[in-house]
Amino acid sequence: MFNGKGRGRTLLSLALVSVGLVAQDAEAQFKKQCMSCHTVGAGAKVGPDLKGLAERRTKDWATGFMMAPGSYLDRGDATATELLKAANGVKMPDLGITAGEAEAIWKLVDDATKAGKVIGSAGIARPVTPADIANGRLLFEGRKHFAKGAPACLSCHSASSAGFAGGGSLGPDLTAVSGKMGKGLASAIETPAFPTMQNVFAKAPLTAEEAFQVAAFLGSVSKEPPAKKDIMLPIVGLIGLVGGLQISRIVARRRFKGVRSQLKPKA
Amino acid sequence: MLTNTFLFVGYPYLMIVLAILVSIIRYRYTPFSFSSLSSQFLENDQLYWGSNFWHWGIVIVLLGHLTAFLMPGAILSWNANPVRLFLLEATGVTMGMLALLGLVSLLVRRLTHSRIKVVTSTMDVIILVLLLVQVVSGLDTALRYRWGSSWFATNAAPYLQSLFFFNPKPQYVASLPLGPKIHMLSAFTIIGLIPFTRLVHFLVVPLHYLWRTPQLVIWNRRPEKRFNSQSGR
């Protein structure tokens, strides 16, 4: 079995299997990290349709950009700047893609292009109803739970007047995001690839319907002024502090102060 | 990436190991040094306020962190209503401010009171300053990067749990802003310094006092009577 020919065949089949695995990994990674903004052959979303990438860009440029899009923009790369303009100023996040992964994704896109295979979809395309907007608001605020257990948007984001005393401020205000991302917004929040979100939402993605509803809500507020900086939290905190001090003064009246002060003759 | 791996994987493990090992060694060789080395006898008035504010504030804040670490889902469910979320956050901020007030008062006491200065070591000052960094960065995080109770549950809790399961996932916190990162790093530093400072006292909190049989202190005479008669009034 382990004569030269047999070993050669085993190695060959192992190599084929591993090539298959790499392709599978690349597709899984594409779904997790790229598909929120890109498709191959299903049209542009937040970012461009990647079909025919090899005809537009060199491999070096494309893989380099995948790994660190921020640095291309920082040094004023002409193509990157143009892409940023086309995407309404929505920057592609630095996703921590390694050189090997970038190469595999390049190959995946190239193979899909050549085979005429479509990866991803352009998302739900029905008209928005008032019920979508109302549901989207409930989901955004957390009053309604996401089916797969994703945390409420309000945890980190604000949007116009959503929430009591405003939304979170770890992430950006999303009031105007709909105008920027347009139709791509729903798919961008279905499996968000932003660094702080991707680990959390990879485990608990939104359903296409939920993403559509949240996007509908964000669309409904996109013309409103951005969320106000809410100062209720520090103010209520201070009120609580003053209240606490008052309580402690009352409690301290019964405090045992030692016997010496009482024994000393009063001057 | 490499820096993040060191700061949020290597460093916390280093500090935890240091805390456990040195605590054991210190307890074996100088068991009676496990104490807060009370200075109540030297100055009691400022200590009463400072210590009470500090301990009430910090213990409640720590219990909040512990709950979010152990039961992140419960916190998220509570926070599902924005009003409840706000109440939780406001309680946290109040307690944080109370702790800050107490801590500053204890720090001032330690640095200005002549009797206390005599028994103050370098480590006392170092740990107080670190605790100050910890509380200030915590309040800064709570106020500038809302709503911390929710995103602690989604990002910090899985990260901290991953450390305990020896399967560290620093990617959960790698992209957080500088403020919360300082808060985490100074927390790890404080954990590492526990056995080198007065902080060891919290490892030997006499919790059993809560359910032991009560000890009655018997006075010879009723104190009020005694003082009144002796002061000659």
Q: What is the DSSP string of B103-116?
A: HHHHHHHHHH-HHH
In the numeric block, the tokens 């995080």 are attached to: B141
In terms of Cα–Cα distance, which of A37, A121, A41 is closest to A83? A37
pLDDT of residue A76: 85
| Contact indicator for B86, B142 with CB cutoff of 8 Å | no
What is the nearest CA distance from A246 to chain B, expressed in angstroms? 12
> pLDDT per residue over A207-255, tens digit each?
889 999 999 999 999 988 888 887 899 999 999 999 999 999 998 888 8
The CATH number covering residue A250 comes to 1.10.760.10
Which DSSP letter does residue A133 get? H
Give me the interface pTM, i.e. the ipTM.
0.81
Helices (H), chain A: 4-29, 53-56, 59-67, 69-74, 78-86, 99-115, 130-141, 177-181, 185-190, 195-203, 208-221, 232-252, 260-263
| Contact indicator for B90, A236 with CB cutoff of 8 Å | yes
Q: Is A259 contained in some domain?
A: no
User: How many residue pairs from chains A and B have C-beta atoms closer than 8 A?
Assistant: 121
Residue A14 shares a structural domain with residue A69? yes
Cα A174 from Cα A216, distance rounded (Å): 12
Mean pLDDT, range A124-138, rounded to an integer: 89
Global confidence as pTM: 0.79
Q: Is A261 contained in some domain?
A: no
Cα B122 from Cα B111, distance rounded (Å): 11
Picking from A89, A115, A141, the residue at the C-terminal end of a domain is A115
| Contact indicator for B75, B150 with CB cutoff of 8 Å | yes
In the numeric block, the tokens 């193979």 are attached to: A111
End-to-end Cα separation, chain A, in angstroms: 107
In the numeric block, the tokens 């009031």 are attached to: A175
Picking from A87, A115, A143, the residue at the C-terminal end of a domain is A115
Cα B155 from Cα B149, distance rounded (Å): 10
Question: Per CB distance under 8 Å, which residues of A are interface residues toward B?
Answer: 96, 141-143, 145, 151-152, 154-156, 163-170, 195-196, 199-200, 232-234, 236-238, 240-241, 244, 248, 252, 255, 258-259, 262-263, 265
In the numeric block, the tokens 């991302």 are attached to: A181
pLDDT of residue A266: 63
Decide yes or no: CATH 3.40.50.2300 for domain B2-205: no
Closest chain B residue to A94, measured at CA:
B175
> pLDDT per residue over A37-78, tens digit each?
888 887 777 788 888 888 888 888 888 888 888 888 888 888
Per-residue tokens: B181 = 């990162």
Contact assignment for B143 to A233 by CB distance below 8 Å = yes
Residue A189 shares a structural domain with residue A101? no
pLDDT of residue B208: 87
pLDDT of residue A117: 84
pLDDT of residue A66: 87
Q: Is A191 contained in some domain?
A: yes
Which comes out higher in pLDDT, residue A259 or A51?
Answer: A51
Q: H or E element: which one contains B184?
A: helix B178-193
Residue A249 shares a structural domain with residue A142? yes
Cα B41 from Cα A258, distance rounded (Å): 11
Cα A149 from Cα A153, distance rounded (Å): 12
Q: Which of B94, B220, B233 is the best mutation test for A, with the most CBs of A within 10 A? A: B94
> pLDDT per residue over A133-148, tens digit each?
999 999 999 999 999 9
pLDDT values of chain B reduced to their tens digit, one per residue, 233 residues: 678 889 999 999 999 999 999 999 999 999 888 988 889 889 888 999 999 999 999 999 999 999 999 999 999 999 999 999 999 999 999 999 999 999 999 999 999 999 999 999 999 999 999 999 999 999 999 999 999 999 999 999 999 999 999 999 999 999 999 999 999 999 999 999 999 999 999 898 888 888 888 887 777 766 665 555 554 44
Closest chain A residue to B144, measured at CA:
A169
Nearest 10 degrees: CA dihedral of A82, A88, A93, A98?
-40
pLDDT of residue A14: 54
pLDDT of residue B233: 40
In terms of Cα–Cα distance, which of A22, A238, A200, A206 is closest to A111? A22
Q: Is A3 contained in some domain?
A: no
Q: Is A262 contained in some domain?
A: no
Q: Where are the domains of chain B?
A: 2-205
* Domain span holding position A46: 8-115
Say whether residue B51 is in contact with chain A using an 8 A CB cutoff.
Answer: no
Count other Cβ atoms within 10 Å, centred on residue A56.
12
Nearest 10 degrees: CA dihedral of A212, A213, A215, A219?
130
Picking from A115, A136, A162, the residue at the C-terminal end of a domain is A115
Residue A142 shares a structural domain with residue A237? yes
Q: Is the pLDDT of residue A2 over 50?
A: no
Q: Which chain A residues are Cβ-neighbours of B76 within 8 angstroms?
A: 142, 151-152, 155
Number of independent structural domains in chain A: 2
Q: pLDDT band for A178, please (50, 70, 90 cuts).
A: confident
What is the nearest CA distance from A157 to chain B, expressed in angstroms? 8
In terms of Cα–Cα distance, which of B115, B119, B112 is closest to B35? B119
| Contact indicator for A87, A179 with CB cutoff of 8 Å | no
What are residue A40's DSSP bridge partners? A119
Say whether residue B231 is in contact with chain A using an 8 A CB cutoff.
Answer: yes
pLDDT of residue A20: 53
Q: How many CA atoms lie within 13 A of B101 on its CB side?
A: 18
